[in-house]
């Protein structure tokens, strides 16, 4: 065998390979050329009978042809296997593909992201903390001692260890002030837990806590920031009002109402014909809370606020049953894409 014969052998093998349409024929082809008695195998064995110079010229060519055919056979095998699978499945490759299913963020996640974005624009920083809290952070440091009647309002889940599931995100006020020096602006979104369940309450729900501490923080700052928040969330035409209230960790304390988003203040069933809906509680940070974190109350003042995410979401989306947010019905969740 010479170089010309090797060239013709390669051309013949390639032509035969291209014409194959069955896996059984491909195996016969492999045996014909690369089997123990195959043409290329025999040609390689016959090299030992040739002069040295001939072996140097023909050896690399035959080895190169052998490697080429091995790769070409494997490629042909994959091609025939795919064709065989398509045939078995009776696929019509001309049909249009199925549109992929796209998910979406949960409506509560959407609202949390929107609320956080509003306060981030105002210079606040997001902080997070544990959902399993100590009595000290959840109550005592927030000016709610053991005898305080406000504890009865919380309907707390206590654990055998003596810890509890936090009833509000307010413990993050204490944790943030202990870790940082003023001035500071933080918001703390997260899950909270209370023993309460009906169409407007859930044992687990979400709050966003806000805190601002600085040297000259006033109630006017509180009103300005929360008014901006209300208009950004519910629309520029939203009206707000502040009513005196009571929270043990703020003094003075207020509840903020907005003009009803359903009747635009005219009066309806949702707002009990008043034209107003309460959306959050707030107030100036109580001096006892600042003392608990060793802040100088002569130098530093602050305000805090807390709002329920589910309540905001129910108003924004017109949902009248909080349980819909947690039942995981696709027909409901898909409407928020």
pLDDT digits (tens, 9 = 90+) for 162-179: 899 999 999 999 999 999
> Does the annotation place 39 within a ligand binding site?
no
From its phi and psi, is residue 264 left (phi > 0), alpha (psi between -120 and 50) or beta?
left
**100-141 residue pLDDT tens:** 777 788 999 999 999 999 999 999 999 999 999 999 999 999
Do the strands 240-247 and 301-308 form a parallel or antiparallel pair, or are they unpaired? unpaired
Residue 309: burial class (beta carbons within 10 Å; 0-12, 13-18, 19+): buried
Q: What percent of the chain has pLDDT over 70?
A: 95
Asked if the model's pLDDT at residue 281 lies above 60, the reply is yes
Nearest to 141 by CA among 305, 288, 304: 288
Q: How many CA atoms lie within 13 A of 146 on its CB side?
A: 1
Give the ranges where the chain is alpha helix by DSSP (H).
3-19, 23-34, 39-45, 52-89, 107-121, 135-138, 150-154, 171-179, 219-234, 287-292, 309-317, 330-333
| Range 2-22 average pLDDT | 84
- pLDDT for 129: 92
- pLDDT for 153: 67
- pLDDT for 126: 95
Asked if the model's pLDDT at residue 3 lies above 80, the reply is no
- pLDDT for 38: 85
Asked if the model's pLDDT at residue 242 lies above 90, the reply is yes
Tokens representing 39 are 């043409």
Cβ neighbours of residue 285 closer than 8 Å, sequence gap 6 or more: 173, 211, 213, 249, 250, 301, 302, 303, 304
């Amino acid at each position: 065998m010479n170089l010309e014969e090797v060239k013709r052998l390669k051309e013949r093998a390639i032509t035969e390979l291209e014409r194959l349409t069955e896996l059984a024929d491909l195996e016969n082809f492999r045996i014909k050329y690369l089997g123990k008695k195959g043409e290329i195998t025999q040609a390689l064995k016959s090299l030992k009978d040739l002069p040295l110079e001939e072996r140097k010229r023909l050896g690399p060519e035959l080895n190169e042809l052998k490697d080429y055919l091995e790769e070409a056979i494997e490629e042909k095998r994959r091609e025939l296997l795919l064709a065989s699978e398509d045939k078995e499945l009776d696929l019509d490759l001309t049909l249009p593909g199925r549109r992929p299913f796209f998910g979406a963020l949960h409506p509560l996640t959407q609202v949390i992201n929107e609320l956080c974005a509003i306060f981030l624009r105002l210079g606040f920083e997001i902080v997070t903390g544990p959902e399993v809290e100590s009595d000290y952070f959840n109550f005592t440091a927030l000016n709610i001692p053991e005898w305080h009647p406000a504890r009865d309002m919380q309907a707390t889940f206590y654990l055998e260890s003596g810890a509890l599931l936090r009833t509000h995100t307010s413990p993050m006020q204490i944790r943030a002030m202990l870790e940082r020096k003023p001035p500071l602006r933080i918001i703390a979104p997260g899950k909270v837990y209370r023993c309460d369940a009906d169409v407007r309450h859930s044992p687990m729900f979400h709050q966003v806590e806000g805190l601002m501490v600085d040297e000259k923080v006033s109630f006017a700052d509180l009103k300005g920031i929360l008014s901006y928040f209300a208009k950004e969330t519910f629309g520029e035409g939203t009206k707000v009002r502040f009513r005196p209230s009571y929270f043990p960790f703020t003094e003075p304390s207020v509840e903020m109402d907005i003009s009803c988003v359903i009747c635009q203040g005219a009066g309806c069933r949702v707002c009990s014909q008043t034209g107003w809906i309460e959306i959050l509680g707030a107030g100036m940070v109580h001096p006892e809370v600042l003392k608990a974190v060793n802040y100088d109350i002569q130098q530093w003042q602050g305000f805090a606020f807390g709002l329920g995410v589910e309540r905001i979401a129910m108003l924004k989306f017109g949902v009248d049953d909080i349980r819909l947010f947690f039942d995981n019905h696709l027909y409901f969740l898909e409407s928020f894409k």
